[in-house]
């Protein structure tokens, strides 16, 4: 028999082989972690060390949890439903052990993770040798147990149909739609889309006493985590007939006075805010499994503030702001372009066209700010701040 030329990746039609393949990847990441320890001691925090820390973080933050969920939510329950006699007796001791191993490894990871974060960011070089040793040893013993007991039992007991069921569940967990002969049933697919959140946690002692400072902390972490458009937020307003209306805008400033964005004062949202200044903002930072909800009343920024921001925008954006009657209907794109060309011609060579009256900033003055951190099995953390009559912030935990 000749060895395969490439390291072949098994398909989800062989779910037990996929789980074994995951173990091989875990072993590679564990060896990177051990090499990183030596590298840091000998060479300090180099670019190579940062890349290694990022790879390890990426793997154990995401893929390893998916693998644990495969076992906890599908493989072991399916085995428990199928096994009888000696197999069932073995599972009675093995399943609690595996669940406890997962918890122990999660706890060990929680101590290593902040150190790896600072190494990846290039701001630290501390990596606990003890922590690495415990984590690697716990994983190795755990994988050996699964490979010698759980996997052979599944291969022996599962029918072809059960293997297909397991493979499909694992595929869906990774957001990969299984191949289907006919058009997928959207309702079934939506029901099966179930991301479990395991990135982090949020406790009363983690949260800063000032919610604006806490927002600043999370915003900085969203930027560092390279979340896509971390400054994009949903803005919900209310129409004069009491109906909600929402859209995305970009936050341009935040401080103790509130959260600021810029727009057209005559737009739909501008008219709605003139009628009812209550509004809600929402940030969703998917990569960090975080949501921030902010509610309060909206005021216009001063003309001087709006001028200051208008004047630092790129010239073409300033021309757009002058040319567009945002939210008003127009017959076609050509008319819109003609309006822009007319504005550009009128402004001519002038580098600093004045801000039009209809364009400026709004600032939402917060009365309620909620920080939401996704947790496993929908048991999320929610910490809410509300401002009392004296203007003091009070903090409370809410049920998920």
Ligand X SMILES: Cc1cc2nc3c(=O)[nH]c(=O)nc-3n(C[C@H](O)[C@H](O)[C@H](O)COP(=O)(O)O)c2cc1C
Q: Which is nearer to ligand X, 268 or 305 (CB)?
A: 268
378 belongs to the catalytic site: yes
Of 366, 369, 246, nearest in space to 296 by CA: 366
Q: Which is nearer to ligand X, 127 or 249 (CB)?
A: 249
Tokens in use for 86?
């000696």
From residue 100 to residue 119, the character string flagging contacts with ligand X as x (rule: CB under 6 A) and all else as - is: --------------------
- In this chain, which of 23, 39, 269, 375 binds ligand X, going by CB under 6 A? 269
- Give the nearest distance from C-beta 357 to ligand X in angstroms: 16
Q: Which is nearer to ligand X, 109 or 359 (CB)?
A: 359
Selecting among 378, 382, 387, 397, the annotated active-site residue is: 378
- Size of residue set near ligand X by CB under 6 A: 15
- In this chain, which of 46, 327, 339, 386 binds ligand X, going by CB under 6 A? 327
Distance from C-alpha of 357 to C-alpha of 322, rounded to nearest angstrom: 9
Distance from C-alpha of 14 to C-alpha of 171, rounded to nearest angstrom: 11
Per-residue CA distances from 296 to 230, 293, 372 (Å): 21, 10, 18
Backbone angles phi, psi at 279, to 5 degrees: -150, 165
Give 106's contacts (C-beta < 8 A, 6+ positions apart): 198
Q: Identify the bridge partners of residue 383 per DSSP, sorted by sequence position.
A: 371, 397
> Distance from first CA to last CA of the chain, Å, rounded?
56
- Give the nearest distance from C-beta 149 to ligand X in angstroms: 50
From residue 201 to residue 240, the character string flagging contacts with ligand X as x (rule: CB under 6 A) and all else as - is: ----------------------------x--x--------
- In this chain, which of 110, 208, 213, 250 binds ligand X, going by CB under 6 A? 250
From residue 61 to residue 100, the character string flagging contacts with ligand X as x (rule: CB under 6 A) and all else as - is: ----------------------------------------
Q: Which is nearer to ligand X, 168 or 263 (CB)?
A: 263
Candidates 203-211, 244-252, 309-317, 362-370 — which segment interacts with ligand X by CB under 6 A? Answer: 244-252
Residues 368, 294 contacting (CB under 8 angstroms): yes
Distance from C-alpha of 237 to C-alpha of 243, rounded to nearest angstrom: 8
Q: Which is nearer to ligand X, 18 or 343 (CB)?
A: 343
Residue 201: count of CB within 10 angstroms of its CB: 14
> Is residue 211 exposed (0-12), middle (13-18) or buried (19+ Cβ within 10 Å)?
buried
- Give the nearest distance from C-beta 199 to ligand X in angstroms: 23
Of 139, 152, 165, 194, nearest in space to 15 by CA: 165
The residues binding ligand X (CB under 6 A) are 229, 232, 247-250, 261-264, 267-269, 326-327
Residues with a known catalytic role: 378
């Amino acid at each position: 028999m000749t060895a395969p030329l490439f390291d072949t990746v098994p398909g989800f039609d062989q779910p037990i082989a996929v789980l074994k393949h995951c173990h091989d990847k875990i072993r590679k990441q564990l060896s990177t972690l051990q090499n990183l320890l030596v590298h840091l001691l000998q060479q300090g925090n180099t670019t190579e060390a940062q890349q290694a820390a990022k790879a390890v973080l990426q793997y154990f933050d995401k893929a390893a949890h998916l693998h644990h969920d495969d076992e906890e939510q599908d493989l072991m329950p399916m085995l428990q439903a199928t096994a009888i006699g000696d197999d069932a007796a073995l599972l009675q001791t093995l399943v609690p052990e595996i669940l406890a191993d997962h918890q122990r490894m999660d706890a060990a990871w929680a101590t290593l993770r902040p150190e790896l974060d600072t190494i990846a960011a290039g701001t630290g070089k501390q990596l606990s040798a003890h922590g690495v040793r415990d984590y690697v040893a716990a994983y190795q013993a755990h994988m050996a147990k699964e490979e010698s007991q759980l996997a052979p039992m599944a291969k022996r007991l599962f029918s072809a149909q059960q293997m297909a069921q397991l493979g499909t569940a694992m595929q869906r967990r990774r957001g990969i739609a299984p191949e289907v002969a006919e058009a997928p049933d959207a309702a079934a697919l939506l029901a099966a889309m179930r991301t479990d959140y395991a990135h982090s946690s949020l406790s009363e002692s983690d949260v800063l006493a000032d919610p604006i400072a806490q927002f600043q902390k999370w915003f900085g972490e969203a930027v560092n985590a390279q979340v896509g458009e971390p400054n994009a937020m949903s803005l919900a307003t209310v129409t004069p007939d009491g109906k909600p209306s929402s859209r995305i805008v970009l936050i341009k400033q935040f401080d103790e006075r509130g959260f600021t964005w810029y727009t057209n004062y005559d737009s739909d949202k501008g008219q709605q805010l003139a009628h009812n200044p209550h509004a809600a903002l929402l940030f969703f930072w998917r990569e960090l499994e975080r949501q921030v909800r902010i509610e309060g009343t909206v005021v216009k920024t001063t003309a001087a503030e709006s001028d200051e921001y208008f004047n630092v925008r790129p010239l073409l954006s300033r021309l757009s702001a002058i040319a567009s009657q945002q939210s008003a209907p127009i017959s076609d794109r050509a008319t819109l372009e003609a309006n822009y060309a007319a504005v550009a011609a009128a402004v001519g060579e002038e580098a600093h066209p004045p801000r039009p009256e209809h364009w400026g900033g709004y600032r939402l003055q917060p009365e309620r700010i909620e920080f939401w951190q996704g947790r496993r099995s929908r048991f999320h953390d929610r910490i809410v701040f509300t401002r009392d009559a004296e203007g003091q912030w009070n903090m409370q935990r809410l049920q998920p």
